[in-house]
Structure 1
């Protein structure tokens, strides 16, 4: 009963102990309480009750009872870090028991061996136990043994065997009332899905298991550990670190299992390293190493040492000693048959290369490269990264590019199994090293066109295909509606000065629910579609349009001018200096948005000049006089490009990638030419341009006041030719897909736009901060504009900075005047800026708006 209804089982056991039981019955009751405390409570109490249960079993003169209790006690001692005592208790349990009971004891010794990382011993014991359990028709324990065997198979990389055992165990558990075991089965299937490369399925199954544990009111620390591993693979390392640290605090608070604490510390160390925090990673990993060593768990200790070496390298501690440490870790992992062995060999090779030890590097990299042809996607990526480094050390540019291509192809296929745009974007981080190696080889080759190809190969790839549309999930729709209502109530309370902590907590809960459901969505199919063709780009650009792509190598901006049938390369300034200057420009624009800042105008204009030197360098003198498309790296997404002197009077548009511009350029407008004008609440000007635009566009759909509600707005936007939305915009740096526009019934968020069959062909967002993005992954952007571009929008006008609401109105009217006369968005925006008054506020407003795409 303790794994079917844990709390009720403990209550029944306490009733038994209060009724003067026989030694046999008292032994069972103490064992039940001990098991509960062992798995979900205080280890000291667990050991007290289990030792009491053992003594009572001896008094009852039942060897099978004694063997069963010794097995539970042995597991408790092992998970408390008292490995030798625990193994002795388990050995004694096997010796004194027989038949059916001995099979159960063997299962628990196999479990203890798995905890210790002794996988061969674990498989041997569980294989001995399963036939006896089946013969005795012991459904529950047979299912548990199959689940354990599957888990051990996964630890050594035998995914197919694991999946077969998990399936068999699940069918058996379905015939029982063992709710905790069922939840564990769902969790185990999630682990199998992850090992086979299906991250959305793993997240969905882990969430389902978590819901089941919550209903039983039992924490599951193993679920935290496994979920952290999946979050890291999905590029969500900061979240994984937060979850691991929170679980450690809970475990410490209840005096829980020492073995679980060590594993959580290892998960936290891995997450900190991937989150770019090597010092936290070193601290967590070093403590994990000490705990694993004290617990006599060499398999786990070696994995923790691998993270420790990685973190020390990331902290700049490369040395010959570190090469030796990594090589020793690789050898030990290979001896264990651990799937992480190639990763350690790659690490040893990488450090050796930095030290110039080419022979040592080749030896280690050759071992790591063997994994490139088999295994899960990230393991194959490790192999291709090793192969690329081998080729670079051998001076083979062709070999480097081939290995990088093959490795990124693997990651492309993996990413396209992810339905959520956020996961696709963040997963690109896994390929950052390969992309950088390919770009460096391309630069060294002296062929600008090749550098352009590789710059595009790993730029804004999450926008190359629309995210998988969420299914018609009534719970997701309900959560979005509830989120909107709560957000609207919180906004109203905030404006009235009322406290809103309860509303904020509920809003955060709903955000977690919505995000979780979208992360569960699986991509439509593997495959990345057509590759970038520079010839096709140059053909579409023709002789008039110039595309300026900025690549960053070793921290310096490389400018690629594409047009007139050729690609030219120029070297500009340092990216870090450009980022700093861009932040100064943003501060200047914010100041100019308020009256009385006229004196700051020349200062901001001078900043634009310095920014041009850093970003374009000598290329600025070769821009010609025609339209310009700027393709910046993700970290420069907030640059107001129209402020740069050589671009100030230009027909100028911005695109996340050359591929995105091509797709937008070739997008056909929808039939019908519907115009939709939306006016949200609370604007200082009340969206004053909307009534005038309604008169200009006869027959347009105008949504304002109570009609500007999210469901109606989405309905009208779907497939429109032109949409103009005047509404307050909010950018969420902490959760960019909850960036929003304020409607009458609450915010319309990126998740809402992703449900459109086709977003408007052209869309104009006349409000602050709508063109802000979060830069994630290798070179990806998440935000409102980037959500629209893959869904059929060819062009967007949006704002990168806070602006003066009153100054926006004449800019928007002039912009639409140009559109009405047949101009493109970029042409109309250029003319609209020129038509504005020359004062600082209007000039800053014009610079803050950009045209994105190609319409």
Structure 2
């Protein structure tokens, strides 16, 4: 019962002790309390109760009872860090027990061997225990033994054997009422899914297990550790670090198991390293190493040493001693059969290369490269990274590019198993090193065309395919509705000055639920899309249009100028300086959004000139006089490109990648699509352009209009206007789906902490990115006449998450959106002028250029025009 209903078992055991029981019964009660405290409470109290249970068993003269208690005591001693005493208790337990009891003792000793990382001994003990448990028809302990054996198999990379044991154990659990063990079985299946590379399934199963544990009221430290591992593999290292640190705080507060604390410190160190927090990683890993060493857990100590070396290298340290340490860690991990051994060899080789020790580097990298032939995706990527470094050391550009191509192909296939656009975007970080190696090799030997190909190979790849969408998921739809209601209530309470703490908590809870269900979605089967073709791009650009793709190599901006049948390369400034200047510009635009800041206008214009020098360099003089498409890296998407002098009076559009621009250019308007005007609440201007646009829609169509690709019959159709109570999210989504064009005047909010909860404010609450992703097809053209709608979070290798990037893969060919706070009143004339250009048959970029020119020359209107950009090619 202590595992099926732990709190009830604890209460009953305390009741037994209150009734002056005989020694045998008292031994059982103290053992139950000891198990509860060991797994869910204070290990010091656990040891006290278990020693009392052992002594009472001896007084009862029951060798079998004493053996059973000694096994429980052995586990508790090991978990408290007293490994030698714990193993000695097991030796006495094995000697005192016989038959069925000894098999249970052997199972628990196998568990301890697993905790200590001694997998050979664990498999031997469980091999001896299972036949006896089966013969005794002990379903519960047989299922536990099978689960443990599967877990040990996973630790050494034997995934197929583990899955067979998990399946057998789960079938047995189905015949019992052991709820805690059933939850553990779900958790174990989540671990197996993760080891086989299925991250969405792993997250789903671990979340299901967490819900089961919550129903039992039991802590979940092992689950926390496993979830952190999956989060790190999904590119969510900051979240893994936060979860590990929170679990450590809970564990310390309850006086919990020292072994679990060491394991949590290890995952926290790994997460900190992946999150770029080298000092935090060093601190956590150093404590983990000391704890594991004191607990005599060599397997874990070696893994912690690997993380510590990685963190020191990330912190800028490079020495022969680190090469030796990494090589020794690799040797030990290989002897253990640990899947992390190639990672350690890669690290040793990488440090050796940095020192110029080519012979040592080749030896270590050669070992690491063997993993490229098999295993889970990330292990194969480690192997291809090692192979690429070997080729670079040997001076083989062809070898570098081939290894990078093969490694990124592996990651492409892995990403396509992820349904959520967030996971796909964040997973690209795992290919950043391969992409950078290929770009450097291209720059050194292949000329600008090859550099362009590799710049495109790993740029905005998440936009290449639409995210998986679960429109039939009733729980997700219910959560989205509840989220909107709570968010709207919270906004209203803030305006009225009422407390919002409870509403904020509920909103955060719903956000977690929505995000969790989204991350569970599985993607389509692996399969590459159409490759990037430089010739096709140049043909599409023709003689007039230039595409400017900015690549960043070793911190410096490389300008790839495409047009007039060729690709030219220019070197510009440092990315870090450009980012700082862009922040200054954003601050200036925010001030210019308010009347009375006219004196700041020359300062902002000067900053625009500096930005041009840093981002375009000498390429600015070679842009010709025609339209320009800018393809910036993710970290530069907040730049107001129309502010740069060389781009200010041009037809200018922005695209996340050249591939994305080509796809947008080839996108046709939906047949029968209508036109939608939406006016949300709370705008200072009241969304004044919407009724004016509705009144004048479709008048005096010129002959030039058909070149936009929208048939005349569609264009004459009166627009659908959604405002007031009619501008509610379900109705807005229904009208947007498959529309030819949409204009949304609503307050925009960008969420840097959770970009897919960036929103547009509707009558019933926020319209968020997750809502847009449920559209079968987003509008062909969409104009977002509100603040911050063109802000993105740069994640992964070079990916963007935000409102605009949610629309582009779903059928939208062009978007007009804003990257800064703007003056609502000044937006109105800009939007009216923009639509006048569209009515004249212009593209979004052409109409936006003319609309800027038509604005008054004061600072507020100029800043408003610069803040808006046209994305895509419509």
User: Is the structural similarity TM-score above 0.5?
Assistant: yes
Task: From 782, 786, 792, give the equivalent of 1:763.
Answer: 782
Say whether the 8 Å CA contact 2:368–2:383 is kept in structure 1.
Answer: yes
User: Post-superposition shift, 1:609?
Assistant: 0.7
Separation of aligned partners in 1, 2:61 and 2:106: 21
Task: From 791, 806, 820, give the equivalent of 1:772.
Answer: 791
Task: From 818, 821, 840, give the equivalent of 2:837.
Answer: 818
**Residue deviations 1:367-393 (CA, integer Å, cap 9, x gap):** 000000100000000000000000000
User: Post-superposition shift, 1:528?
Assistant: 2.6
Separation of aligned partners in 1, 2:198 and 2:583: 39
Separation of aligned partners in 2, 1:503 and 1:694: 37
User: Post-superposition shift, 1:437?
Assistant: 0.1
Separation of aligned partners in 1, 2:530 and 2:166: 38
Structure 2 match to 1:802: 821
Task: From 713, 717, 733, give the equivalent of 1:714.
Answer: 733
Separation of aligned partners in 2, 1:669 and 1:543: 26
Separation of aligned partners in 2, 1:481 and 1:90: 56
**Residue deviations 1:41-72 (CA, integer Å, cap 9, x gap):** 00000000000000010111111101000000
Structure 2 match to 1:462: 462
User: Post-superposition shift, 1:405?
Assistant: 0.1
Structure 2 match to 1:661: 661
Structure 1 match to 2:148: 148
Instruction: Trace 1:213-362 onto structure 2 (pairs within 5 A).
Output: 213-362=213-362
Instruction: Trace 1:90-489 onto structure 2 (pairs within 5 A).
Output: 90-489=90-489
Instruction: Trace 1:495-506 onto structure 2 (pairs within 5 A).
Output: 495-506=495-506
**Residue deviations 1:690-721 (CA, integer Å, cap 9, x gap):** 01110122511000000000000000000000
1:688 aligns with 2:707: no
User: Post-superposition shift, 1:529?
Assistant: 1.4
User: Which stretches in structure 2 are left out of the alignment for 5+ residues?
Assistant: 699-717
**Residue deviations 1:655-676 (CA, integer Å, cap 9, x gap):** 0000110110000101124100
Separation of aligned partners in 1, 2:296 and 2:656: 52
SS in 2 for 1:590: helix
Separation of aligned partners in 2, 1:471 and 1:256: 43
Structure 2 match to 1:787: 806
User: Post-superposition shift, 1:471?
Assistant: 4.4
Separation of aligned partners in 1, 2:591 and 2:162: 61
Separation of aligned partners in 2, 1:272 and 1:96: 46
TM-score when normalising by structure 2: 0.97
User: Post-superposition shift, 1:531?
Assistant: 1.3
Say whether the 8 Å CA contact 1:593–1:802 is kept in structure 2.
Answer: yes
Say whether the 8 Å CA contact 2:673–2:738 is kept in structure 1.
Answer: no
Separation of aligned partners in 2, 1:321 and 1:516: 43
Structure 1 match to 2:854: 835
SS in 1 for 2:646: helix
RMSD: 0.6
Separation of aligned partners in 1, 2:396 and 2:341: 26
Separation of aligned partners in 1, 2:603 and 2:309: 48
Task: From 746, 750, 753, give the equivalent of 2:769.
Answer: 750
Say whether the 8 Å CA contact 2:756–2:768 is kept in structure 1.
Answer: yes
Separation of aligned partners in 1, 2:471 and 2:740: 26
- Alignment coverage as a number of residue pairs: 855
Separation of aligned partners in 1, 2:725 and 2:838: 28
Q: Which moved more, 1:597-606 or 1:430-439?
A: 597-606
Say whether the 8 Å CA contact 1:675–1:697 is kept in structure 2.
Answer: no
Separation of aligned partners in 2, 1:673 and 1:279: 55
Structure 1 match to 2:750: 731
Q: Which moved more, 1:144-153 or 1:438-447?
A: 438-447
Separation of aligned partners in 2, 1:609 and 1:564: 26
Separation of aligned partners in 1, 2:309 and 2:601: 51
Separation of aligned partners in 1, 2:271 and 2:812: 37
Structure 2 match to 1:535: 535
**Residue deviations 1:163-214 (CA, integer Å, cap 9, x gap):** 0000000000011000000000000000000000000000000000000000
Separation of aligned partners in 1, 2:578 and 2:689: 35
User: Which stretches in structure 1 are left out of the alignment for 5+ residues?
Assistant: none
SS in 2 for 1:723: strand
Say whether the 8 Å CA contact 1:654–1:853 is kept in structure 2.
Answer: yes
SS in 1 for 2:681: coil
Separation of aligned partners in 2, 1:535 and 1:2: 69
SS in 2 for 1:645: coil
Structure 2 match to 1:67: 67
Q: Which moved more, 1:264-273 or 1:689-698?
A: 689-698
Q: Which moved more, 1:735-744 or 1:438-447?
A: 438-447
User: Post-superposition shift, 1:293?
Assistant: 0.3
Separation of aligned partners in 1, 2:358 and 2:671: 62
Separation of aligned partners in 2, 1:453 and 1:163: 41
Structure 2 match to 1:84: 84
1:12 aligns with 2:31: no
Task: From 759, 777, 797, give the equivalent of 1:740.
Answer: 759
Structure 1 match to 2:708: none
**Residue deviations 1:445-494 (CA, integer Å, cap 9, x gap):** 14111000000001011111010112411111110000000000000011
SS in 2 for 1:647: coil
Task: From 713, 722, 739, give the equivalent of 1:703.
Answer: 722
Separation of aligned partners in 1, 2:204 and 2:597: 53
Structure 1 match to 2:873: 854
User: Post-superposition shift, 1:417?
Assistant: 0.2
Say whether the 8 Å CA contact 2:244–2:267 is kept in structure 1.
Answer: yes
Say whether the 8 Å CA contact 2:459–2:799 is kept in structure 1.
Answer: yes
Residues 110 and 471 of structure 1: is their aligned pair in 2 closer, same or farther, counting only changes over 3 Å?
farther
Structure 1 match to 2:31: 31
Separation of aligned partners in 2, 1:673 and 1:423: 32
Separation of aligned partners in 1, 2:634 and 2:685: 33
User: Post-superposition shift, 1:266?
Assistant: 0.2
Say whether the 8 Å CA contact 1:640–1:850 is kept in structure 2.
Answer: yes
Separation of aligned partners in 2, 1:620 and 1:142: 73
